[in-house]
Amino acid sequence: MKGLLLSFVGFLGRLIIAAAWVFAVALTVWNVLRIYPGDRWLFVRLGNYFAPWLFMALVPALIVALLAHRPWLTRIALLLGLVFVIRYWPLLFPRLPVLSAGNNVSELRVMTFNVNYANRNASDIADLTRAESPDVIAMQELKQGLAAPLRAELASEYPYFLYDSSQGLTGLISRYPLTAGSILPELRYSRSASVETPAGPVTVWSVHLATALSQPGWQAQRRMAAAVAEMAEEDGEPLVVMGDFNTTDQTENYGLVADELTDVHWSVGRGFGFTFPDLRRYGADSPVVGPVVRIDHIFVSEHLTPQEIHVVPSGHGSDHRPVVATLRFNGR
C-alpha cells in the first residue's frame, strides 16, 4: 500500500512538472507568434486578452521548477517573468502624483460606461453619475428603455443629451452644450459631439467597436480602430475618445489607436484596471464572476493631460464597470 502511494505521488509530481513545461513552452510560443503572424490567429488574440493572467500563472510554474530542481524550466520561467515586468512596468510600480491645475475651469471629468442593452436600472445609474460627477458621459448599448428615464433623472444636472437609437446604441450626456458631429461609416455604432466647456471646445467620441472572437469580427474591429486612428490624426482640436473597444491593451487593434492618442490608464492609472465582465446576482454587493479584462478605454489627444483615472466598483445591472477620468487642458 505504501509503495502504491509513493508511486502515485511520484506520478503526480511528474505530471505537475510536465504541465509546468507545457505551460512555459506555450507561453513562449505565444510571445513569438505575437511578432508574426500576430493577432490574425485566434490563439494569439485570446492570449492578448488574458495576458496578465497568463503571466501571473508563471508564479506557480516557477515554484514547481525550483522545488523540482529543473534549471532550464527555471530559466525559461524567469525570462518570461522579465518579459512580463518589461511589458507592464508602468502599471506595476507607484507613480509620482500628478499636480492638479487647482482650477476646475481648466479640468474636464469624463466617464465611459457600457450600460448593457438589457439594463433598466436608471435610478442607480443616475445616483452613480451624481456621485462620480463627470462633466461628460459616453454610454454604449444604451436603449430607449433606459435612455428615457435616465434623461429624466439627470435633466437638472445634465441638460444636454445626444442620443438616437436609429444610429446605434451609443449616446453622450453632458452638463455643457453639445453640438452633434458627423458619424463615420466605419463607426456607425458611435456618436461624436463638440462640447462647449468653460475652457473651450472639446471633441468627444463615444465608440463601440466590434468583438474580435471571429476572424470577420476581428477584421471589422480593425477597420473601426483604423478609422478612429485616422480621425485622431486629422483632428487638430482637443479630443477625447472613450468607450467599449472590445479589445485589451495588448492587441494590434488597440495599438492603432494608442499610436495616435494617449491611453489615460497607461498614463496615470495603476494596476490592470479590469472592467469586464462584472457578473453579480441582483442586489449583490460583490460579483459572482470578474472582471478579468480591461476592454473599456479612455484616450485623449496631446491637448489634454491625464490627471487621474479609476474604475467604479459596480455597473448597477451592467456587465461592464464604468471608467472615470479627470483631464487637464493644456495651454488654456
Whether the pLDDT of residue 16 is over 90: the answer is yes
| Ramachandran class of 69: left when φ > 0, alpha when ψ lies in -120 to 50, beta otherwise | left
What cell was used for 161? 443629451
pLDDT of residue 285: 65
pLDDT of residue 74: 96
> First and final CA of the chain: distance in angstroms?
81
pLDDT of residue 182: 85
Whether the pLDDT of residue 196 is over 80: the answer is yes
d(CA 248, CA 244): 10
What cell was used for 143? 436603449
Three-state helix/strand/coil letters over the chain: CHHHHHHHHHHHHHHHHHHHHHHHHHHHHHHHHCCCCHHHCHHHHHHHHCHHHHHHCHHHHHHHHHHCCCHHHHHHHHHHHHHHHHHHHHHHCCCCCCCCCCCHHHEEEEEEEECCCCCCCHHHHHHHHHHHCCCEEEEECCCHHHHHHHHHHHCCCCCEEEECHHHCCEEEEECCCEEECCCCHHHCCCEEEEEEECCEEEEEEEEECCCCCCHHHHHHHHHHHHHHHHHHHHCCCCEEEEEECCCCCCCHHHHHHHCCCEEHHHHHCCCCCCCECCECCCCCCCCCECCCECCEEEEECCCEEEEEEEECCCCCCCCCCCEEEEEEECCC
For 246-289, what is each residue's pLDDT tens digit? Answer: 999 999 999 999 999 999 999 999 999 999 999 876 666 677 77
What residues contact 49, with CB distance under 8 A and at least 6 apart?
247, 248, 250, 251, 293
239-244, strands of its sheet edge to edge: 178-180, 191-197, 200-208, 239-244, 296-300, 262-263
pLDDT of residue 112: 98
For 84-100, what is each residue's pLDDT tens digit? Answer: 999 999 998 877 666 55
This prediction's pTM: 0.94
pLDDT of residue 234: 86
Q: Please, are residues 203 and 241 in contact by the beta-carbon 8 Å criterion?
A: no
In degrees rounded to 5, what are phi and psi of residue 300?
A: -135, 155
Whether the pLDDT of residue 332 is over 60: the answer is no
For 173-184, what is each residue's pLDDT tens digit? Answer: 999 999 999 888
d(CA 241, CA 137): 11
pLDDT of residue 28: 96
From 3.40.50.980, 3.40.50.2000, 3.60.10.10, 3.40.630.30, which CATH number describes the 104-329 domain? Answer: 3.60.10.10
What cell was used for 157? 444636472
Nearest to 245 by CA among 233, 255, 254: 254
For 97-139, what is each residue's pLDDT tens digit? Answer: 665 555 566 899 999 999 999 999 999 999 999 999 999 999 9
- Spell out the domain ranges in the chain: 2-89, 104-329
**Mean pLDDT, residues 61-72 taken together:** 94
